[in-house]
Structure 1
Amino acid sequence: MTDTIIAAEATEAPAPATAPRPTATIDVVIVNFNTRERTAECIASVLDQHIDGLTVIVVDNGSTDGSAEAFVERFPEIVVIDAGENTGFARAVNRGVHAGTGDFVLLLNPDATVFPGSLEALAAFARAHPEYGVYGGRTVRADGSVDRSSCWGAPTLWSLFTFATMASTVFRTSPVWDPESLGRWERDTVREVPIITGCLLLTRRITWDALGGMDERFFLYGEDAEFSARARRAGYRPVIVPDAVIQHDVGGSTASSGRKMAMVLAGKVTLLETTWRPWAAWAGVALLQAGTAVRAGLESVTRSSRQTWRDAWTLRESWRRGYPDAEAALFGRTPPARPRTRLRPQRRLVVEAEPAFRTAHANPYTAQLAGALADRGALVRDLSYARVAFGRVDVIHLHWPDLSFLSGRRRVIHIARLTLFYSALAAARRRGAILVWTVHNVEAHEERSSARLRDRAHRLLLKSLDGILALSPSGIDAAVSAYPELAAVPAAVTRHGDYRDAYAFGVSRDEARARLGLSGEGPVLLFVGQIRAYKNVVHLVETFRRVPGHGTLLIAGHAPADLAEDIRAAAAGDPRIAFHLGFVSDDDLPAYLAAADLVVLPYRRVQNSGSAILALSAGRPVLVPDLGAMQDLRTDVGEDWVDLFEGELTAERLREAIDRATGRGETASPDLADFAWPAIATQTEQAYRAFRCHRDTASSARRGDRRP
Structure 2
Amino acid sequence: MGVVLVTYNNETHIGPALDALRAAATGPMDVVVVDNASADSTVAVVRRDHPGVRVLAQSENLGFAKACNLAARTLDTELVLFLNPDTVVDEDALWIGTEAMRADPSIGILGGRTRYPDGGLNSTCCFGSPTLWSALCEALGLNALAAGTTLFNPEHLGGWDRDDTRDVDVVTGCFLLIRRDVFEEVGGFDERFFLYSEDTDLSLRVRRSGRRCVHHHRVGLVHAGGGSDTVRSAKLVKVLAARAVYYRKHWTRPAIAAGTALLDARVLTRLLASQLRGGPHRNHWQQVWRQRAAWHQRRVSTA
Q: TM-score range by the shorter chain?
A: over 0.9
CA offset at residue 322 of structure 1? 4.9
Q: How far apart in 1 are the matches of 2:124 and 2:15? A: 22
Partner of 1:294: 269
Matches within 5 A, 1:616-635: none
Is the aligned partner of 1:143 residue 2:100?
no
Task: Decide whether the 8 Å contact of 2:79 with 2:178 is kept in 1.
Answer: yes
Letter in 1 for 2:257: W
Q: How far apart in 2 are the matches of 1:30 and 1:58? A: 5
Residues 209/272 of structure 1: CA separation in 2 closer, same or farther (3 Å cut): same
Aligned residues: 302
Is the aligned partner of 1:260 residue 2:235?
yes
Is the aligned partner of 1:123 residue 2:98?
yes
Partner of 1:250: 225
Match of 1:308 among 284, 287, 291: 284
Match of 1:231 among 187, 193, 206: 206
Is the aligned partner of 1:320 residue 2:296?
yes
Question: Looking at both structures, which has the greater relative contact order when contacts are Cα pairs under 8 Å and sequence separation is at least 6?
Answer: 2
The C-alpha deviation readout for 1:431-467, integer Å capped at 9, x for no partner, is xxxxxxxxxxxxxxxxxxxxxxxxxxxxxxxxxxxxx
Is the aligned partner of 1:54 residue 2:35?
no
CA offset at residue 320 of structure 1? 2.5
Task: Decide whether the 8 Å contact of 1:268 with 1:322 is kept in 2.
Answer: no
Task: Decide whether the 8 Å contact of 1:299 with 1:310 is kept in 2.
Answer: no
Task: Give the 3-state SS of the residue equivalent to 1:175 in structure 2.
Answer: coil
The C-alpha deviation readout for 1:531-574, integer Å capped at 9, x for no partner, is xxxxxxxxxxxxxxxxxxxxxxxxxxxxxxxxxxxxxxxxxxxx
Q: How far apart in 2 are the matches of 1:212 and 1:83? A: 22
- Cα RMSD, aligned residues only: 1.2
Task: Give the 3-state SS of the residue equivalent to 2:234 in structure 1.
Answer: helix
Partner of 2:256: 281
Is the aligned partner of 1:214 residue 2:189?
yes
Q: How far apart in 2 are the matches of 1:174 and 1:77? A: 46
Task: Decide whether the 8 Å contact of 2:111 with 2:125 is kept in 1.
Answer: yes
Match of 1:201 among 136, 154, 176: 176
Is the aligned partner of 1:35 residue 2:10?
yes
Task: Give the 3-state SS of the residue equivalent to 1:291 in structure 2.
Answer: helix
Task: Give the 3-state SS of the residue equivalent to 1:179 in structure 2.
Answer: coil
Partner of 1:418: none
Residues 72/244 of structure 1: CA separation in 2 closer, same or farther (3 Å cut): same
Which consecutive residues of structure 1, in runs of 5 or more, have no partner in the other structure? 1-25, 332-708
Q: How far apart in 2 are the matches of 1:198 and 1:308? A: 26
Q: How far apart in 2 are the matches of 1:51 and 1:153? A: 32
Residues 256/64 of structure 1: CA separation in 2 closer, same or farther (3 Å cut): closer
Is the aligned partner of 1:152 residue 2:138?
no
Is the aligned partner of 1:99 residue 2:103?
no
Task: Give the 3-state SS of the residue equivalent to 1:37 in structure 2.
Answer: coil
CA offset at residue 319 of structure 1? 2.5
Matches within 5 A, 1:232-631: 232-306=207-281, 307-324=283-300, 326-327=301-302, 331=303
Task: Decide whether the 8 Å contact of 1:136 with 1:240 is kept in 2.
Answer: yes
CA offset at residue 40 of structure 1? 1.5
Residues 187/47 of structure 1: CA separation in 2 closer, same or farther (3 Å cut): same
Task: Give the 3-state SS of the residue equivalent to 2:73 in structure 1.
Answer: helix
Is the aligned partner of 1:111 residue 2:86?
yes
Q: How far apart in 2 are the matches of 1:225 and 1:50? A: 27
TM-score, with normalisation over the residues of structure 2? Answer: 0.96
Task: Tell me which stretches of 4 or more aligned residues in structure 1 moved more than 4 Å.
Answer: none
Task: Give the 3-state SS of the residue equivalent to 2:212 in structure 1.
Answer: coil
CA offset at residue 173 of structure 1? 2.9
Task: Decide whether the 8 Å contact of 1:261 with 1:309 is kept in 2.
Answer: no
| Structure with larger Rg | 1
The C-alpha deviation readout for 1:626-670, integer Å capped at 9, x for no partner, is xxxxxxxxxxxxxxxxxxxxxxxxxxxxxxxxxxxxxxxxxxxxx
Q: How far apart in 2 are the matches of 1:59 and 1:50? A: 20
Task: Decide whether the 8 Å contact of 1:83 with 1:92 is kept in 2.
Answer: no
The C-alpha deviation readout for 1:220-266, integer Å capped at 9, x for no partner, is 10100000111111111201011111111111110141111000001
Task: Decide whether the 8 Å contact of 1:172 with 1:178 is kept in 2.
Answer: yes
Which consecutive residues of structure 2, in runs of 5 or more, have no partner in the other structure? none
Task: Give the 3-state SS of the residue equivalent to 1:235 in structure 2.
Answer: coil
Is the aligned partner of 1:166 residue 2:141?
yes
TM-score, with normalisation over the residues of structure 1? Answer: 0.42
Task: Decide whether the 8 Å contact of 1:60 with 1:68 is kept in 2.
Answer: yes
Q: How far apart in 1 are the matches of 2:11 and 2:191? A: 24
Letter in 2 for 1:72: R
Q: How far apart in 2 are the matches of 1:311 and 1:258? A: 7
Q: How far apart in 2 are the matches of 1:103 and 1:128? A: 13
Task: Decide whether the 8 Å contact of 2:25 with 2:94 is kept in 1.
Answer: no
CA offset at residue 298 of structure 1? 1.4
Task: Decide whether the 8 Å contact of 2:110 with 2:215 is kept in 1.
Answer: yes
Q: How far apart in 2 are the matches of 1:180 and 1:50? A: 33
